[in-house]
Amino acid sequence: MSRFKFIFGDIGAIKKHGLQSYINNYFWPVSELEYQNIANKMHEQYVHILDGVRDPFLYDVVLVELTFIAEIQIIYHYHSVKQYALKHNLNLHYTKHSKRYYEPDWKEYANFYSTIKFPHGRVVRAIRRFIKSFVFNRHLGFIKFIKGFLFGQGVIGVGSYDRLKKEYVEKNNLFCHHYDWPDVFKHNSKSDKDITLQALKVHKEVISPYLEFLVSLDPVVFSRELIENIRISWDKRIKDLIVLFYKCSVFDRGKVVLITEAGKPHSKIISLVNNRYGAKAYCFHHGSDMGEVVQKNSHTKDTSHCRYFIVPSSGAKSAYIENYSNISVEKKIGTHYISNKSTFYKELYDRNLKKKLNSEIKSVMVIGYPMTQYRPMEEVGLFFYIRLEFEHRLITELKNKGYRVLYKAHPDRLNEITGFFEGLVDEFLVEPFERVWDKADALIYGLTSTSTFGYGLCTNLPITLIDVDGTVWNKRQKKYLEGRVSFVPGKLNKEQQIEFSSNNLIDTLRKPKSAIKWNDASLYFG
């Protein structure tokens, strides 16, 4: 039972009432253990039902909806908070930041697939495609470029032209025709009757038994009203999703489709449809995750639909196989991991070693957490309510020890974090990490699942990581990291605070590990 009279339900409410009020009234009614236990059960039950779907087409449709299951998990979490507040007569303060979870717009959920919009119309997309043909194929010689432009090479690119995709195209000397995803979806080839029959099968085999499971899991939160809202929305989503599957272009066998943003619904559809019925679809790894932390549920949701998944290096490939090859979805899809043997990290390492290091660490950069309302299923304590208090305490401790503290805010969540730490830290950094990392003498991370972690490893700065107990590591990757990173053990206590030893933290700054030689770093990067 809380001794307080209110709950700060999101980051906007904390900002409205002030950081100090939040610190003084720190309390969240759903513990990490409670949430992960329920969220894992919800995920595992859906995968179990999915495994029983025999129709290949419907299996693919249902697989895409792991995205919706993740949304239901978050809705459950915030509705549990609401129930606690009602039961204990507490005021629950929340803002627009979390309204979609406290007060779900079920019409918006229902119409998700029928209202997905792309920012450009057909004419603009055609112009974009023409320009991209020139800009993204400049690595080719003149003759090969002309041949590719006029006759093609059977390679289609969908989504952004990010670094790994660019490396793959250039390394293999390919001419790639770049499409925006709406141009892959054509006219529907099936009647309304066919679509309705397919949707009814999904309702009977998947939706109905899963909703029954949710009620048995928690009949209070999963009330009759909430279950009915989920059911109506889900039935509509499935019908619209089936339409998109039928609309998706099936490229000729022998062609190759290169897909980025693999976890987005339209990317999933293009990948599944073509790998089952047409061209080979290759999906691309994003960020700098080398498989050091095992995140099976998130991985299943975002990646396991990929039959061919390109990762930067052999190190990442080995870790991904070790971490995820036993997932039932991947066994059924037949997922293959492919190393692109990227030279990016070696080049980055060589370039960044030019920074001159100070003999004594005087300034440290704290890498900020993105303060979203989303609560992941893995990596303990990755939740805005927990992380804000942790980062405030970490910064305060460093300042009390006389260090100059720089805070690197997450670029996608500046609105959420702005206004909290500016008066506490010496510099509040909003520029990209690669432009500002050399302002500090050392880096401090509270998690590895950030693109800045891989980049940071390729600098010559000492690195400290607060390693929260319960995080599931790939043992081989962690062993390699221990040669480069100073690990400070952390633990989530009963009050949902990340505890760590201040003495251990300061020791890592007074006796830092030096940047390792590339021969050693390559064991991690591969």
Token code pair at residue 68: 């919706």
Closest CA to 6 of 25, 20, 24, 19: 25
Task: Please tell me the number of Cα atoms within 13 Å of 25 on its side-chain side.
Answer: 19
pLDDT confidence of 516, banded at 50, 70, 90? low
More confidently predicted of 95 and 379: 95
Asked whether the beta carbons of 335 and 304 are under 8 A apart, the reply is yes
Query: Quick one: residue 385, left, alpha or beta (phi over 0 = left, psi -120 to 50 = alpha)?
Result: alpha
The token duo for 158 is 């969908």
Q: Are 284 and 260 a contacting pair, CB within 8 Å? A: yes
Looking from the CA of 290 toward its CB, the CA atoms found within 13 Å total: 25
Q: Name all domains of the chain by residue range, CATH numbers in brackets.
A: 6-116+189-240 (no CATH), 122-184+248-343 (no CATH), 347-525 (3.40.50)
Q: What is the pLDDT of residues 390-435, one digit of tens each?
A: 999 999 999 999 999 999 999 888 999 999 999 999 999 999 999 9
Helix, strand, coil % over all residues of the chain, rounded to 5: 50, 15, 35
CB 361 within 8 A of CB 442: yes
Residues in the chain: 526
Q: Classify strands 463-468 and 177-179 as parallel, antiparallel or unpaired.
A: unpaired
pLDDT of 289 reads 87
pLDDT of residue 1 exceeding 60: no
Q: Is-contact 462 483, C-beta < 8 A?
A: no
pLDDT, average across residues 331-349 = 93
Distance CA 8, CA 81 (A): 10
Contacts of 400 (CB under 8 A, 6+ apart): none
Q: How confident is the model at residue 515 (pLDDT cuts 50, 70, 90)?
A: low
Using alpha carbons, list the distances in angstroms from residue 471 to 457, 489, 508: 20, 11, 21
58-65: average pLDDT: 97
pLDDT of residue 504: 96
**Residues in contact with 118: Cβ distance below 8 Å, sequence separation at least 6, in sequence order:** 125, 180, 181, 182
Tens of pLDDT, residues 454-470: 999 999 899 999 999 99
**Mean pLDDT score of the chain:** 93
Residue 58 three-state SS? helix
Q: In the chain, pLDDT over 70 holds for what percent of residues?
A: 98
pTM of the prediction?
Answer: 0.93
Residue 286: per-residue pLDDT: 87
Interior angle at CA 188, CA 183 and CA 194, nearest 5: 150
- The predicted pLDDT at position 267 comes to 96
| H-helix or E-strand spanning residue 245 | helix 224-247
CA angle (226, 232, 237) in 5-degree steps: 120
| pLDDT of 189 higher than 80 | no
Put residue 199 in one of left, alpha, beta given phi > 0 → left and psi -120 to 50 → alpha.
Answer: alpha
Q: In this prediction, what percent of the chain has a pLDDT beyond 90?
A: 77
**pLDDT: which is higher, 387 or 514:** 387
Q: What is the pLDDT of residue 523?
A: 78
CA 382/CA 377 separation, integer angstroms: 9
Instruction: Give Cα separations from 207 to 65, 73, 115, 238 (angstroms).
Output: 11, 15, 22, 10
Distance CA 245, CA 270 (A): 8
* pLDDT score, position 483: 87
Nearest-5° Cα angle at 257, 251 to 260: 140
More confident of the two residues 160 and 212: 212
pLDDT in tens, 99-155: 999 999 999 999 999 988 887 888 998 898 888 888 889 898 888 888 888 877 689
Predicted confidence (pLDDT) per residue in 373-383, tens digit? 999 888 899 99
Reported for 98-107, long-range contacts at CB under 8 A and 24+ positions apart, including other chains, are 98/9, 98/10, 98/12, 98/373, 101/74, 101/75, 101/77, 101/373, 102/9, 102/78, 104/75, 104/229, 106/229, 106/230, 106/232, 106/233, 107/233
Q: How many angstroms from the chain centroid is the CA of residue 155?
A: 27
Give me the helices (H) in 88-162, please: 99-102, 106-110, 122-135, 142-151
Q: Quick: pLDDT tens for 383-401.
A: 999 999 999 999 999 999 9
Mean pLDDT of 228-232: 98
Q: Tokens 């039972």 — which residue?
A: 1
Amino acid type, 163: R
Q: With 50 as the cut, is the pLDDT of residue 204 above it?
A: yes
The CA-atom distances, in angstroms, between 80 and each of 74, 86, 431 are 10, 10, 37
